[in-house]
Amino acid sequence: MREFFGFGGYQREPEGFLSWQHLTFVTSLILVMILLAVFLGRRNQNAAAKAKNAVLIWTALLIDGLELFKIVLLCFRSGDPMDWLYNLPLFLCSIQLIAIPMAAFCTGRVKEASLDFVCIFGILGALLGTYGAGQNYNAYPVLSFDNVISGVTHCISGFASLYIMFSGMCSMKKNNIVITLAILCGFCIAAYIANVLIDYNYMFLMAGDGTPYDILYNLVGGHKILYPAGVVLLFFLYIAGFYWVYFKVTKKKAAAVN
């Protein structure tokens, strides 16, 4: 148990990013994520709004509970009570720690926009935080607390995204795009300020850190303005692409029904 939780440092060598151990582990998590989302989403497709929302409530409690446990354990493990400064919910994936509860507990346009935000970014976060997490799998063994808790919480985000889609909870109203962009921009600004103040790399706005963002970082030569601006631009392009695909698919479905 000491080895799994990393007390005293991990004794095992990391298997490495994109090793068969890494790919097998994250693929198993992704498959469970998809199967649960499809099963619960389709089961609740025609259920009352309260029944649909109950799944999101439990999802919000689970992801925030696990994240709080992680922060407490990491602070205890490091012996530094200020370690929480480096575990703030300021990564793209960890925005879901706030967005999922907003989707579960808010009402009106804020709920609609939060549902859309989770729907758009949850699945992206799940894939980037599992298959793309080079910074984790190069640093820790695959079956370690750091990687297991990260994989599970990222897949909870992906589950929420797919569940919202399959249960029919997303609205994708164009007039809610402004709120979605405001949520994203607010977190980007907060992350950048935190990075400057504590010399960290939230939202990967300062460097790629072994993730696919390294491609952009190398492309612009690590430019201190072009790189973070490029990361935010990628977010905007992803949102635009997601909306385009969503409307194309729903338009074809509507045409097929008619």
Question: Please, how many CA atoms are within 13 Å of residue 22, restricted to the half-sphere of its CB?
Answer: 23
Comparing C-alpha atoms, which of 163, 201, 165, 203 is closest to residue 183? 203
Mean pLDDT of 202-229: 90
Q: Comparing 23-32, 41-50, 203-212, which segment has the lowest mean pLDDT?
A: 203-212
**Predicted pLDDT of residue 51:** 94
For the cut 70, the answer to whether the pLDDT of residue 252 exceeds it is no
Q: Long-range pairs for 233-237 at CB < 8 Å and ≥24 separation?
A: 235/92, 235/184, 235/188, 236/181
Q: Long-range pairs for 239-242 at CB < 8 Å and ≥24 separation?
A: 239/120, 239/177, 239/180, 239/181, 239/184, 242/120
**Predicted pLDDT of residue 247:** 83
pTM over 0.75: yes
For the cut 70, the answer to whether the pLDDT of residue 37 exceeds it is yes
Contact 91, 128 (CB under 8 A): no
222 or 175, which is more confident? 222
Please tell me the distance from the alpha carbon of residue 172 to that of residue 64, in angstroms, as a whole number. 25
For the cut 80, the answer to whether the pLDDT of residue 87 exceeds it is no
Comparing C-alpha atoms, which of 199, 180, 203 is closest to residue 190? 203
Mean pLDDT, the chain, integer: 90
For the cut 60, the answer to whether the pLDDT of residue 113 exceeds it is yes
Q: How confident is the model at residue 134 (pLDDT cuts 50, 70, 90)?
A: confident
For the cut 90, the answer to whether the pLDDT of residue 210 exceeds it is no
Q: How confident is the model at residue 246 (pLDDT cuts 50, 70, 90)?
A: confident
Comparing C-alpha atoms, which of 74, 253, 83 is closest to residue 168? 253
Q: How confident is the model at residue 254 (pLDDT cuts 50, 70, 90)?
A: low
Q: Provide the token pair at 62.
A: 């689970």
Express each pLDDT in 164-177 by its tens digit. 999 999 888 888 88
Non-local (6+) Cβ contacts of 71 within 8 A are 83, 84, 87
What's the distance, CA 195 to chain centroid? 19
Please tell me the distance from the alpha carbon of residue 102 to that of residue 174, in angstroms, as a whole number. 19
Contact 228, 222 (CB under 8 A): no
Mean pLDDT of 45-53: 93
